[in-house]
Amino acid sequence: MATIAIQGDGVAACCSAFLLKRAGNRVSLKPTNRSRVPAIMLSDAALELIREVFGNPHLLRGAHRIQKRVVAWGRDATPKVLQHSAAVVSEQTLLEALLDGSDFDVDHFGRHAQWSILASRPVPKPAVEHRFGLRFASAAKVTVRDGFDFASCWIESLEKGWLFLIPDSSESAWLLSVGQTPESLLDSSVLIVREITGWQIQGNPFPSAPSIIAPLAGQCLDGSGWLACGTAAMGFDPICGDGTAHAIREAILAAAVVGAAANGEKTGQLLTHYSSRLLAGFDRHLRLCRNVYSSGYGGAWWDSELNKIEEGIEWYSEQILRLAEFHYQLRGFALEAIA
């Protein structure tokens, strides 16, 4: 049995804590005070992954469903209606479902911990954040027109950013604006502006460009190890809609690394494997962003953000050269050495 301290109480923290405690470890959880994301869209694949981790096939069965996407992407693009299948929940609702019935030690956080999983900031001083873009996002609670289709989400690219309109129930919706304020982008909107009758910004703007810390894992002077995952490790552009799924996969891998170390695997190789896997996932996200942003609209704003994404891809190439090949593979929720 290992003693693990988990910093944070988001999706990554909850998933890693659940897996490690189920494996018989002593787990302490340190909640953080931060605002929650008002609406998270979970693909069917992400939803099934969460259910598999928590062993609950009925988890979030009552969540609001999205069945279509209405997309106007590109300069003078004709809107397209695409089939979609996803669930929408608030982060608070998601976390309450994940933590239901769980009991973690919060009084003795970090005491004699052999491992620390950092799912929220701060991270150790050697770690430095690298951000590949200057864009910020704002979330606004909106009122919509009579007859609005609450089973559809809406995406529109504009000269200086993009808008994402997503209902979170059969009677309410949220607007995400990236690049400029909602007011500024709605002034030039052709598609989404017709669906909205009013809005109220919630909270302050927040960074929305891809970001990552380096290093992603390490060892302390006392011999204990640390791993960063979730928002402490990486930030994802919301256009790709895969941030929550990434956080879950990172948590699974973090828990598997701790388990493999307890079984006698070499800590250095485990940390290298963990970092390599997270870097590879970040590179895939950057390349997806490049594809999406290259077709977004064109012009100064889009070109500037696209250049930053290219810088991120080059940065990844430099980082991965320093790391060894993968030595392990996941089988279920456990790491096995590759023969």
Q: Taking a C-beta distance cutoff of 8 angstroms, is the pair 214, 128 a contact?
A: yes
Give pLDDT, residue 5. 95
Say which amino acid occupies 247. A
Residue span of the structural domain in which 323 resides: 3-38+90-133+210-337
Whether the per-residue pLDDT at 223 is higher than 90: the answer is: no
In a domain, 101, yes or no: yes
Domain count of the fold of the chain: 2
Please give the structure tokens belonging to residue 70: 């209405």
For 234, how many CA atoms within 13 A lie in the half-sphere containing its CB? 30
For 82, how many CA atoms within 13 A lie in the half-sphere containing its CB? 14
- Residues 25 and 113 reside in one and the same domain: yes
Q: Which range is least confidently modeled, 115-124, 237-246, 264-273, 317-326?
A: 317-326
Q: Taking a C-beta distance cutoff of 8 angstroms, is the pair 13, 230 a contact?
A: yes
d(C-alpha 124, C-alpha 129), whole Å: 11
Give pLDDT, residue 107. 55
Question: What phi and psi, each to the nearest 5 degrees, are found at residue 335?
Answer: -90, 135
Give pLDDT, residue 109. 60
Q: What is the pLDDT of residues 37-79, one digit of tens each?
A: 899 999 999 999 999 999 999 999 999 999 999 999 999 999 9
- Residues 104 and 202 reside in one and the same domain: no
- Residues 114 and 245 reside in one and the same domain: yes
Q: What is the mean pLDDT of residues 95-120?
A: 79
- Residues 228 and 112 reside in one and the same domain: yes
For 298, how many CA atoms within 13 A lie in the half-sphere containing its CB? 4
- Residues 279 and 232 reside in one and the same domain: yes
Q: What is the pLDDT of residues 266-307, one digit of tens each?
A: 999 999 999 999 999 999 999 999 999 999 999 999 999 999
d(C-alpha 166, C-alpha 133), whole Å: 24
Burial-class residue 122 by CB neighbours within 10 Å (0-12, 13-18, 19+).
Answer: exposed
